[in-house]
Structure 1
Amino acid sequence: MGNKDARVDAYIAASAAFAQPVLNELRDIVHQGCPEVEETIKWSMPFFTCKGILCYMAAFKEHCAFGFWKGRAVLGEAMQSSEAERQKDGMGHIGRLTSLEDLPPRRVLLGYVKKAVKLKEENETSPSTPKPRAPKKALPVPGYLAAALKKNQKASAAFEGFPPGRRREYIEWLTEAKTETTRQKRLDTAIEWIAEGKSRNWKYEKC
């Protein structure tokens, strides 16, 4: 069962007389459309949550507003008719509310609430599609490696046949050397392993 928040009771009680029946009606509709809904106060106005923010309501000096967190998805084409009112009032999706007569039919509002809940559930159960990783740019072959490969035909042919990732491993290993002596030692080893068709980390690969 959903829970009611005493702060929302206080918010409604402190609102103007015209706003109280509107806010109470909206509150009842939200609870009917989503029995599991929870109430809270965010940004100094009542919010209704169910697996995240579902909708909200607010009372101003001369009108009330009511809206959904994903208003365009919930209301669809119906939102177009209230676009001008929404822009004028600065918030809400069903226009300027000054009395119960300004509210859409109860069944319509209930439908909106249930649709908002359904969208939340679908979003929660839909598996997220991982973003494809951008392929790494090919590293340029250092001159000293190119020269060493040129002197060893077997190593040169093997290196050319390596996939980009395997070539990258050797290039990074060589360019990360701190001293000329270390780099030369790695270069000699690299040429030997490449000529044998081995990857940089061949010792750790499973047979």
Structure 2
Amino acid sequence: MAKDERIDAYIARQADFARPILTALRDAVARHCPDARETIKWGSPAWTYREKLLCSMAAFKAHATFGFWRGAEVTGETGRAYDAMGQFGRMTTLDDLPDDASLGRLIGRAADLIDSGGSVPRTLKHPKPELIVPPALAAALEGAPEAAKTFAALSQSHRREYVEWITEAKRDGTRDRRIAQAIAWLAEGKSRNWKYAQC
């Protein structure tokens, strides 16, 4: 594996406790996945394999971290919610590292996941609530077939823009004016923020 000089510099400027940990992790990745490439991601050392992120490490004031991009899949602990500490928590000494054979198996599994294809399953941290069309807008759409057709064809996010604009109105008169404007724009095939989409 070709060494990235930026990682040499990163390790050199870390605290005394962190340098041996980072060096050991770097050596382990090189040994167990020689086809991985060293790089810097988000200001910290990382490794890619077949152009996909494999793992990364970082050092902080009082601890170091190491983690796999597809952490839960690599470790098999799918029910655990990992935080910024990666899969091995806050490491402060070499004793905090898993043994070389265990670490090697995990690195191999991370590479196998990339080889097998597929992507990281992502979940929204704050899922959006179900989109509920206000009754006044629904009634107006029923009386305007062209507008209703456009509204139905819009993406969920574009429909949400109209709904939120209307429901955020503090007065009935404002709400009614917004509904009338929405129906006019929708009848012309326009999204809520059509003015900003034009370049």
TM-score by length of 1: 0.54
State the match for 1:71 in structure 2.
71
Query: What is the one-letter code of the residue matched to 1:97?
Result: M
State the match for 2:113 in structure 1.
119
Q: Structure 2: which 5+ residue stretches go unaligned?
A: 119-199
Q: Structure 1: which 5+ residue stretches go unaligned?
A: 125-207
| Structure with greater helix share of residues | 1
**Aligned partners of 1:47 and 1:53 also within 8 Å:** yes
Deviation at 1:77, TM superposition (A): 2.9
TM-score by length of 2: 0.56
Alignment CA distance shift 1:16-1:47 (3 Å): same
Q: What CA distance in whole angstroms lies between the structure 2 residues aligned with 1:79 and 1:72?
A: 8
State the match for 2:96 in structure 1.
102
Identity %: 46
Q: What CA distance in whole angstroms lies between the structure 2 residues aligned with 1:113 and 1:77?
A: 15
- Larger Rg belongs to: 1
Is 1:34 equivalent to 2:33 in the alignment? Answer: yes
Q: Deviations over 1:71-130 (max 9, x none)?
A: 0100013984xx5xx53xx33111110010111111111110000011111117xxxxxx
Q: What CA distance in whole angstroms lies between the structure 2 residues aligned with 1:3 and 1:123?
A: 25
- Secondary structure of 2:57's aligned partner: strand
Q: Deviations over 1:15-47 (max 9, x none)?
A: 000000000000011111101111111111001
Q: What CA distance in whole angstroms lies between the structure 1 residues aligned with 2:9 and 2:59?
A: 12
Alignment CA distance shift 1:10-1:99 (3 Å): same
State the match for 2:126 in structure 1.
none
Number of residue pairs matched by the alignment: 117
Query: What is the one-letter code of the residue matched to 2:91?
Result: L
Q: What CA distance in whole angstroms lies between the structure 2 residues aligned with 1:92 and 1:46?
A: 14
**Aligned partners of 1:79 and 1:94 also within 8 Å:** no
Q: What CA distance in whole angstroms lies between the structure 2 residues aligned with 1:6 and 1:61?
A: 22
**Aligned partners of 1:55 and 1:67 also within 8 Å:** yes
Deviation at 1:64, TM superposition (A): 0.2
